[in-house]
Amino acid sequence: MVSLNAVLLISFLLFSIGIAGVLIRRNALIILMCVELMLNAANLNFIAFARHNGSVAGQAFALLVMGFAAAEVAVGLALVVALYRRRDTVQVDDINLLKG
Amino acid sequence: MEHFIETIGRNMFAIFGVMALVGGLLMIASKSAIHSVLGFLFAMLNIAGCFLALEAEFLGVAQILVYAGGIVVLFLFVVMLVEVSKKKEGEVFQLQSRYAVAAVAVGAAMFLAVFRKAFFGVASPEALVLRPELAKGLDVAHQNAQAVSRGLFADYLLPFEILSVILLVALVGAVVLAKTERV
């Protein structure tokens, strides 16, 4: 039996790694992967609470979140490819068209 | 020896969790994007292990199928499409926004204070529980996929259908975004 606090700690650390990646990396692809990591940390929380509470809702919604993550990756990668085609870069520092 | 194996079996979640953290750190720390994708893959597989350790067998397998089988391959395709013959990132990290780093540090300190207070408390003994009319003829403790599907299709059918529409929209949107201008 896994204690809830251990799961929450791991999930929190995973989420922090995701946020750190989004803040410090410049490659748009890696930023997308960090967003995925954050979604997975949230999923881990869902499942931990489902396990703790005995409710099936957490697992059902974790499955739904997984589907949303797949949709998000498809759109995000399409955006990256379109961006690369137009600007020839995926570094977020070089994408400053809207900067005044 | 048996004692050793038993200890490992009890602490499966911690082992998988720590390895997932290692994968995440590899992902954000490596210079080459391919290595980042591999770190991401490692993290996802270990999170699937965490799901299994939490007795969510169906979701663990779905995690491996969706992430290792689909999303990581998609990322690898795009990385190889975009990163090949590109010059290396001159500066890998951007730490110029010191306020963001400070905010993250403060948030981490707060969370750690919360965790220090109640570290490793008592855990509930019961596994998944379904409503009696849904659990009819089902060994809930050992048939995870069936239990999740009964809960999903009984109580959460509308979110499930909305998800299917969103996937369709994402499919069409991805094609529209990624296609060339003149077709």
**B132-145: string of b/e by CB count within 10 Å (b at 16+)?**
eeebeeeebeeebe
Question: Between vectors from CA A20 to CA A52 and to CA A35, what angle results, nearest 5°?
Answer: 65
The residue among B36, B67, B78 with the most chain A CBs within 10 A of its CB, best to mutate, is B78
Mean pLDDT of chain B: 80
Q: Which residues of A touch B125 (CB under 8 A)?
A: 1
Cα–Cα distance between A36 and B36 in angstroms, integer?
A: 13
Of A48, A57, A70, the CB nearest to B66: A70
What are the pLDDT digits (tens) for A64-90? 999 999 999 999 999 998 888 888 888
pLDDT beyond 80 at B123: no
CATH (one of 1.10.10.1590, 1.10.1740.10, 3.40.50.970, 1.20.120.1200) for B1-84: 1.20.120.1200
Query: A19 lies in which domain range?
Result: 4-94
A57, part of any domain: yes
A36, part of any domain: yes
Rg, chain B, Cα only: 22
A100, part of any domain: no
Contact A68 B166 (CB under 8 A): yes
Cα distance from A98 to chain B (closest Cα, Å)? 19
Query: How many domains are there within chain A?
Result: 1
- The whole-number average pLDDT for the span A36-64 is 90
Of A4, A12, A63, the CB nearest to B123: A4
B134, B151 contact by CB (below 8 A):
yes
Copy the structure tokens of residue B16. 């998988």
Residue-level length of chain A: 100
Contact B74 A77 (CB under 8 A): yes
Copy the structure tokens of residue B170. 């994402």
Q: Which residues of A touch B170 (CB under 8 A)?
A: 70-72, 74-75
pLDDT beyond 70 at A1: no
Cα distance from A52 to chain B (closest Cα, Å)? 6
Q: Which residues of A touch B63 (CB under 8 A)?
A: 66
Cα distance from B1 to chain A (closest Cα, Å)? 22
pLDDT confidence bin for B124, thresholds 50/70/90: very low
Q: Determine which of B1-10, B27-36, B86-95, B138-147 has the lowest per-residue pLDDT on average.
A: B86-95
pLDDT confidence bin for B37, thresholds 50/70/90: very high
A99, part of any domain: no
pLDDT beyond 80 at B183: no
The CATH number of the domain where A74 resides is what?
A: 1.10.287.3510
